[in-house]
Structure 1
Amino acid sequence: MPETEPQQATAGKREVSTRALVVLAVVAVLAYSLDRVSKSLVVENLTLGQPVNVIGELLQLRYVENPGAAFSLGSGSTWVFAIIAAIVAVFIVIFARRIRSTAWAVLFGMLLGGNLGNLTDRLTRPPGFGVGHVVDFLQVYAFPAIFNVADVAIVSSMGLFILLTIRGIGLDGTRAAKRMTPVDADAPSHPAPSDPA
């Protein structure tokens, strides 16, 4: 028996949702893996605080241990950042079922992978569980902070968020204009002038 239109629509949505979840998971694993591998190489091969030129002074590797958030802010509240990161990770996992757009899946995948990368440092590195120092090592000329691959993934996800929001692309992948109801689409852009009295 052939499927009805509602059944076909439901199957299509399920297929799109599954594809988005797969994209999210792959991007998250990739971002997390790149972060963990790069940090491991830095800790094993670089001296703490010693700069290594990659592209002159434009890009340097400088291994530092960050007890706080970006720009080393809140260095006495590392455990707070660990809790926030854990909450964000749980939220993304729960929220992921609503995503139908590949672009939004990439966004949340980068955010999840980057978030878990820095959370892992806070949970596993010295001086202890929940207060571990994050490994940072990328330094760009004139940029006021040293960062890591996880930070790049998080900032990239924020940039993609701004782009998708400006373009009006929703979680289902459609633009805001296309999500208008037929009544809205047929309505005149300006009210019709009233008849003279």
Structure 2
Amino acid sequence: MRSKSDGYTPSRRGRLLAAGLAALLFVVLDRVTKLLVQAHLSPRPFSGDSFEAPLIPGIVRLYYVENRGAAFSLGEGSGWLFVLVALFVTVAAVVYLRRAPLVSRIEAIGLGMVVGGGIGNAIDRICFGYVVDFLATEFIDFPVFNVADIGITCGVVIAFLGFMFLSPANALEGDDAGAKAAGGSKDDNRGGGL
């Protein structure tokens, strides 16, 4: 039996809790930062000008944008489609976390980040019809983004790395190979006792 320290969540409740906390963290961070940006950087009435300011000089500046597309301004004009995609991703992540036999904590956290980012941007689309973006890179020409976009992008990478390097299939294959090398089957190595 796997221990809690080997990177696997011991129960479905544990993996759902890890994912849920990651999702909640990104929803809260996203909402708080967007509220601050809307209060201080949104266009001034009748001028249409956005306020911009360096956040980390030479690296990132604050710049208000109303994004009517998906992450990084892709797919403009399809806002409700992206709300449905966020709902689908949330349901798919919950189903996967409930049904998979083994899931790494990193994978669960990554999926939670994706869900939290999707929910954060979906809230904007439902409430305003657009997503508030406000982080612009200065060292490279890159679309303006927000905390939810960071959650989605980094969450996909983290979940993928968790799946690839802490894959339940690899772990089970490793257990089978270790049991065969020891001269028995995986079931033979469960230990004695009834």
- Cα displacement string for residues 17-49 of structure 1 (whole angstroms, at most 9, x for unaligned residues): 222221111111111110011101110111333
- Rounded Cα–Cα distance in structure 1 between residues aligned with 2:175 and 2:118: 32
Q: What amino acid sits opposite 1:69 in the alignment?
A: A
How far off is 1:66 after superposition? Answer: 0.1
**Aligned match of 2:69:** 68
TM-score w.r.t. structure 2 length? 0.75
Give the secondary structure class of the aligned counterpart of 1:113.
helix
**What are the ranges of 5 or more consecutive residues in structure 2 without an aligned counterpart?**
44-49, 184-194
Q: Does the Cα contact within 8 Å between 2:107 and 2:163 map onto a contact in 1?
A: no
Give the secondary structure class of the aligned counterpart of 2:171.
coil
Q: Does the Cα contact within 8 Å between 2:30 and 2:146 map onto a contact in 1?
A: yes
- Rounded Cα–Cα distance in structure 1 between residues aligned with 2:112 and 2:11: 16
**Aligned match of 1:135:** 132
- Rounded Cα–Cα distance in structure 2 between residues aligned with 1:161 and 1:138: 24
Q: Does the Cα contact within 8 Å between 1:110 and 1:154 map onto a contact in 2?
A: yes
- Cα displacement string for residues 156-192 of structure 1 (whole angstroms, at most 9, x for unaligned residues): 112213323442x2258x63642546787689xxxxx
Give 1:11-160 correspondences, 5 Å limit.
Answer: 15-48=10-43, 49-98=50-99, 100-125=103-128, 132-141=129-138, 142-160=140-158
Matched positions, count: 170
Q: What amino acid sits opposite 1:91 in the alignment?
A: A
Same amino acid, percent of matched pairs:
34
Higher mean C-alpha deviation, range 106-115 or range 72-81: 72-81
